[in-house]
Structure 1
């Protein structure tokens, strides 16, 4: 199985197809990818779905079955295969083995496959498998409870229960050490945008000079159909974020001292190496930068940890979750609540100390 990128003449971004072991196009997946594109799914989402379906077809190939052979039991076998892929099951010992994929990853793959099968069912190419059960929200009443009046809803019984985990964040001193370890103004600006602006890597690399309003200290996150460096904005919705004067001053300083002249584009972040100077910076360059910074500082972090740190600081300082949602570009406020509004042991300790101080006064 192979995921193949294809360039479509009338589109400004690539699409993806799935090839079998004989390098023949798998037609159902091809039609489904076209459906995703027609319904406005982001290119990165389409790419991810194609790789998820590649796993599904690899599983069916190992089992020697096709779409017409799928039953509920095979879907449950697929779930187990995702957690520990293997051709033939051989019991070596009785010691518990760590799953190859975490619950969130398995659920994401399962969602893609379920969506694919639902599409085939709607087009008449596949007979639906019932993977749901009726459930009643006895322990939780949503704000529409007065309308639904406790009616049952459908729940995917194959979906794994995800363990709640606190997001990993950095201390302020660690962030300062990482920024101080940057050797160029470009690198410092890039790190500060992910931390102070809470931007994703794709959003940072998508920035153009026209997106920056230096007079208002604002940055416009502008979705575009295609970026030369392959960067994409996850949510296709424009938003504006405010930043500090210090960050904007660093941006101006970078343009004056490191940015190229007479470039054929206006991407803000460019390659500074002599042989590639001026080319729009790509994802891999950002990952390489972070690896170097980890080595220089001894602080283990990822690009997303900078974003998590910013969001957590906003929540702890008293920001309403709706404001944090808009600043981060989450599609739903529930995502913000589920991800960041969790109290750590230290949060509890700090609040209790404040409570005791209030009693003493």
Structure 2
């Protein structure tokens, strides 16, 4: 049974997330203060919502075990280690979800949830001026490089008990399947959405936040990402950055056809992608609408597609076309090359072909033929 739930209230177009005690409906102060802190730190609404859900999972886990955060602070090292390790196992088993059909999370996801819990403890320690801190976290330094190679030293508190990460590579989609999906679309708005995701590599929040009057270069066929916090549909560019991408002439023709076809709806507001039918026709499209569209396409074609799969498709097609890793990383808006590497589905066949091509040009690297 859930004892703690996530609540949301909207005020002047801003979403505020809280943690409530389910029976009494009282706001749980400390976690709710933490969520407000994240909002003031310019966290995106989706990020804050995800944090709220993770915190509710942990509070329910504490409740199941008849514990409080204060109890955890007061545990000895071994008990703390056992507590957080058991929490990871609880997550991995899917115990945090009421839906028995929900897919069990990857190890990476479980670890990310625990890191969010540690951030809550860290906030509480600073907020309340605690003299003690979690005993299982040790200070560590990490050296990282960004996409242009600049070296940076990060000081972090590390936990030696995370689940082993498998290096999961996200799924991509093949070009022939995208063609089938495009043909199955009910209207040109849906086609424009799929094409822009496939040809720009932008995140879905970056596409949905696009404004047709200011974020498109109609002469040069460029689509821009502009960071804004006031989008009506809560769309948000992830890293507060500016980027641009060029699309094909054919895609731009479909884009112009869409603008003409639905001009009566589009030109009544600012956003490029709008709902074209139903109760909310003319309103900017939201993430939930994109998910519904892709579920409908899967039912019609049997082909699963997500915005992130199209982002992976962009990365892999550019790699095969000979783009340098740095260019792909910049196009995707990644801060670290390592993130881009996870997008590239390099097969065993490609490695063997590359090896064959290399040795066909360099057969006698070490003068081995003279040793025989």
Q: Same fold (TM over 0.5)?
A: yes
Residue 169 (1) aligns with residue 149 (2): no
1:351 matched to 2:360? The reply is no
Name 1:61's counterpart in structure 2: 63
Query: What is residue 83 of structure 1 aligned with on the other side?
Result: 92
- In angstroms, what is the RMSD of aligned CA positions? 2.9
CA contact (8 A) 1:315 1:340 kept: no
Task: Point out the more displaced range, 244-253 or 313-322.
Answer: 313-322
Q: Does 1:23 align with 2:25?
A: yes
Aligned residues: 338
Q: State the alpha-carbon separation in 1 of the partners of residues 156 and 266 from structure 2.
A: 59
Shift of residue 118 of structure 1? 0.9
**TM-aligned CA distance change 1:260 to 1:109, over 3 Å:** same
* Equivalence for 1:276: 280
| CA contact 2:169–2:345 (8 Å) conserved in 1 | yes
Alignment-derived partner of residue 148 in structure 2: none
Report the Cα distance in structure 2 between the residues aligned to 1:279 and 1:342, rounded to whole angstroms: 37
Partner of 1:179: 182
Q: TM-score, normalised by structure 2?
A: 0.82
1:62-97 deviation line (CA, Å, top 9, x unaligned): 11111110031322222222222659xxxxxxxxxx
In the superposition, relative to structure 1, how do residues 358 and 166 fare at CA in structure 2: closer, same or farther (>3 Å)?
A: farther
Q: CA deviation at 1:6?
A: 2.1
More deviation, 186-195/346-355: 346-355
Report the Cα distance in structure 2 between the residues aligned to 1:260 and 1:274, rounded to whole angstroms.
15
2 CA distance for matches of 1:48 and 1:251?
33
Give yes or no for contact 1:185–1:258 (8 Å, CA) kept in 2.
no
Which stretches in structure 2 are left out of the alignment for 5+ residues?
Answer: 97-101, 146-150, 364-372
User: Which among 248, 251, 254 is matched to residue 252 of structure 2?
Assistant: 248
- Note the C-alpha offset of 1:61: 0.8
> In the alignment, what sits opposite 1:50?
52
Matched, 1:191 2:200: no
- Do residues 223 (structure 1) and 224 (structure 2) align? no
Name the CA distance, whole Å, in 2 between partners of 1:228 and 1:286. 16
| CA 347–255 in structure 1, closer or farther in 2 if over 3 Å, else same | same
Q: 1:262 to 1:347 in 2, by over 3 A?
A: closer
Q: How does 1:1-361 map to 2 (within 5 A)?
A: 1-9=4-12, 12-21=13-22, 22-70=24-72, 71=75, 72=80, 73-84=82-93, 100-124=104-128, 126=130, 127-132=132-137, 155-209=158-212, 210-261=214-265, 263-337=267-341, 339-341=342-344, 343-352=346-355, 354-355=357-358
**Equivalent-residue separation in structure 2 for 1:233 and 1:258 (angstroms):** 25
Contact 1:42 1:236 in 2 (8 A): no
Separation in structure 2 between the aligned mates of residue 196 and residue 86 of structure 1, nearest angstrom: 39
Cα 1:294–1:359 change in 2 (3 A) is farther
Measured after TM superposition, the shift of residue 99 of structure 1 is 8.9
SS for the counterpart of 2:231 is coil
3-state SS, counterpart of residue 283 of structure 2: coil
Q: SS at the partner of 1:260?
A: helix
Residue in structure 2 matched with residue 90 of structure 1 by the alignment: none
Shift of 1:215: 0.6
**Normalising by the residue count of structure 1, what TM-score does the alignment of the two structures yield?**
0.84
Q: Structure 1 residues 341 and 225 mapped into 2: Cα distance closer, same or farther (>3 Å)?
A: same
Deviation at 1:30, TM superposition (A): 1.8
Task: Say if 2:94 and 2:105, in contact at 8 Å, map to a contact too.
Answer: no
Q: Give the conservation status (yes or no) of the 8 Å contact 1:206–1:227.
A: yes
Query: For 2:167 and 2:19, how far apart are their aligned partners in 1?
Result: 34
Segment drifting more, 162-171 vs 56-65? 162-171
Which digits, 9 at most, give the CA deviation of each residue in 1:87-114, with x for residues without a partner? 9xxxxxxxxxx99322011011111101
Query: 2: distance between equivalents of 1:282 and 1:38?
Result: 23
Does the 8 Å CA contact 1:13/1:225 hold for their aligned counterparts?
no
Q: Distance in 1 between matches of 2:338 and 2:71?
A: 38
CA contact (8 A) 2:85 2:162 kept: no
Distance 1:229 1:142, change over 3 A: closer
How far did 1:204 drift? 1.6
Query: Measured at CA, do residues 184 and 356 of structure 1 come closer, stay the same or move farther in structure 2, by a change above 3 Å?
Result: farther
In 1: Cα distance, 2:180 partner to 2:68 partner: 54
Distance 1:44 1:110 in 2: 18
